[in-house]
Amino acid sequence: MQSNLPHLQSIFTADCVIFGFSEGELKVLLIERNEYPFKEWWGLPGFFVEHNETIDDAVKRILLEHTGLKGIYMEQLYTFGDLQRHPQGRIITVAYYAMLRLEAIGNNLKPSTDYVRKAQWHPLNHLPDLAFDHKNIIEKSIEKIRRKVSHSPIAFELLPEKFTLTQLQQLYEAIWDKKLDKRNFRKKMLKYNILKELDEKQKGVSYRAAKLYKFDKRKYNKIFKNELNFSK
Amino acid sequence: MQSNLPHLQSIFTADCVIFGFSEGELKVLLIERNEYPFKEWWGLPGFFVEHNETIDDAVKRILLEHTGLKGIYMEQLYTFGDLQRHPQGRIITVAYYAMLRLEAIGNNLKPSTDYVRKAQWHPLNHLPDLAFDHKNIIEKSIEKIRRKVSHSPIAFELLPEKFTLTQLQQLYEAIWDKKLDKRNFRKKMLKYNILKELDEKQKGVSYRAAKLYKFDKRKYNKIFKNELNFSK
- A35-83, pLDDT tens digit by residue? 888 889 999 999 999 988 999 999 999 999 999 999 999 999 999 999 9
User: pLDDT at position B93, please?
Assistant: 97
- Taking the mean position of all CA atoms in its chain, how far away is CA A121? 11
Angle at B13 between CA B7 and CA B17, to 5 degrees: 150
B76 and A76 within 8 Å at the Cβ level: the answer is no
- Chain A residue with CA closest to B82: the answer is A54
DSSP letters spanning chain A: -GGG-GGGEEEEEEEEEEEEEETTEEEEEEEEE-STTSTT-EE-SEEEPPTTS-HHHHHHHHHHHHH---S---EEEEEE--TTS-TTS-EEEEEEEEEE-GGGTTT-----STTEEEEEEEEGGGPPPBSTTHHHHHHHHHHHHHHHHTTSGGGGGGS-SSB-HHHHHHHHHHHHTS---HHHHHHHHHHHT-EEEEEEE--S-SSPPPEEEEE-HHHHHHHS--TT----
Q: Which of A10, A83, A192 sits opposite B54 (nearest CB)?
A: A83
* CA-derived radius of gyration, chain A: 20
User: pLDDT at position B63, please?
Assistant: 98
Mean pLDDT, chain B, whole residue set: 89
Nearby residues of A52 by Cβ (< 8 Å), 6 or more positions away: B83
Spatial separation of the C-alpha atoms in residues A113 and B232, rounded to whole Å: 44
User: Are B201 and B55 spatial neighbours (Cβ–Cβ below 8 Å)?
Assistant: no
pLDDT (average), residues B20-36: 93
B181 CB-side CA count, 13 A: 5
Q: Which of A51, A94, A178 sits opposite B90 (nearest CB)?
A: A51
User: pLDDT at position A149, please?
Assistant: 84
Nearby residues of A164 by Cβ (< 8 Å), 6 or more positions away: A202, A210, A211, A212, A213
Spatial separation of the C-alpha atoms in residues A73 and A68, rounded to whole Å: 14
pLDDT (average), residues B153-166: 92
B11 and A10 within 8 Å at the Cβ level: the answer is yes
Over the range B53-84, which residues count as b (16 or more CB within 10 Å of their CB) and which as e? Answer: bbbeebbbbbbbbbbebeebebebbbbbbeee
Cα of B73 to nearest chain A Cα, Å? 17
Sorting pLDDT into bands at 50, 70 and 90, what band is B6?
low
Partners of residue B42 on adjacent β-strands: B32, B130
Using CB atoms and an 8 Å cut-off, which of residues 192-211 of chain B contact chain A? 192
Spatial separation of the C-alpha atoms in residues B41 and B87, rounded to whole Å: 13
Helix (H) or strand (E) holding B124: none
Q: Which of A5, A176, A228 sits opposite B231 (nearest CB)?
A: A176
Q: Which of A10, A51, A228 sits opposite B149 (nearest CB)?
A: A228
- Alpha-carbon separation of residue B171 from A24, A159, B151, B174, B201 (angstroms): 45, 39, 16, 5, 19
CATH topology (fold) of A2-149? Nucleoside Triphosphate Pyrophosphohydrolase (3.90.79)
Q: CB-based contact (8 Å) between A179 and chain B?
A: no
Sorting pLDDT into bands at 50, 70 and 90, what band is B193?
confident
A94 and B79 within 8 Å at the Cβ level: the answer is yes
> Which residue numbers in chain A have pLDDT < 50?
1-3
pLDDT (average), residues B110-120: 95
User: pLDDT at position B204, please?
Assistant: 83
Q: Does domain B162-223 have CATH number 1.10.10.10?
A: yes
A89 and B2 within 8 Å at the Cβ level: the answer is yes
Mutation for B interface: A2, A194, A215, most B CBs within 10 A: A2
Cα of A98 to nearest chain B Cα, Å? 16
Q: CB-based contact (8 Å) between A3 and chain B?
A: no
Closest to B166 measured CA to CA, from B102, B126, B196, B209:
B209
User: Are B25 and B125 spatial neighbours (Cβ–Cβ below 8 Å)?
Assistant: yes
Q: CB-based contact (8 Å) between B221 and chain A?
A: no
Closest to B213 measured CA to CA, from B156, B146, B154:
B156
Spatial separation of the C-alpha atoms in residues A66 and A119, rounded to whole Å: 7
Which chain B residues are within 8 Å of A53, Cβ to Cβ? Answer: 83
Q: Which of B48, B81, B180 sits opposite A8 (nearest CB)?
A: B48
- Chain A residue with CA closest to B151: the answer is A226
- Chain A residue with CA closest to B9: the answer is A11
Reduced to 3 states, what is the DSSP secondary structure of residue B3?
Answer: helix
Sorting pLDDT into bands at 50, 70 and 90, what band is B3?
very low
Question: Which amino acid would we find at residue B184?
Answer: N
Residues of chain B with pLDDT > 70, as a percent, come to 92
Using CB atoms and an 8 Å cut-off, which of residues 95-134 of chain B contact chain A? none
Residues of chain B with pLDDT > 90, as a percent, come to 66
- Chain B residue with CA closest to A178: the answer is B231
Q: What is the DSSP code (8-state) at residue B126?
A: G
- Chain A residue with CA closest to B171: the answer is A230
Spatial separation of the C-alpha atoms in residues B121 and B173, rounded to whole Å: 19
Sorting pLDDT into bands at 50, 70 and 90, what band is B1?
very low
Domain spans in chain A, listed from the N-terminal domain onward: 2-149, 162-223
Q: Which of A52, A76, A224 sits opposite B79 (nearest CB)?
A: A76
Q: CB-based contact (8 Å) between B144 and chain A?
A: no
**Which backbone phi and psi does A67 adopt, to 5 degrees?**
-135, -15
Which chain B residues are within 8 Å of A5, Cβ to Cβ? Answer: 11, 48
User: Are A169 and A213 spatial neighbours (Cβ–Cβ below 8 Å)?
Assistant: no
Which chain A residues are within 8 Å of B185, Cβ to Cβ? Answer: 230
Q: pLDDT digits over B53-109, tens only?
A: 999 999 999 999 999 999 999 999 999 999 999 988 889 999 999 999 887 776 789
Spatial separation of the C-alpha atoms in residues A24 and A193, rounded to whole Å: 23
- Give this complex's ipTM: 0.89
pLDDT (average), residues B7-34: 92
B224 and A227 within 8 Å at the Cβ level: the answer is yes
User: pLDDT at position B154, please?
Assistant: 85
User: pLDDT at position B2, please?
Assistant: 46
Closest to B22 measured CA to CA, from B97, B96, B100:
B100
Reduced to 3 states, what is the DSSP secondary structure of residue B30?
Answer: strand
Which chain B residues are within 8 Å of A231, Cβ to Cβ? Answer: 146, 176, 178
User: Are B180 and B173 spatial neighbours (Cβ–Cβ below 8 Å)?
Assistant: yes
Q: Which of B12, B78, B180 sits opposite A10 (nearest CB)?
A: B12
A50 and B8 within 8 Å at the Cβ level: the answer is yes
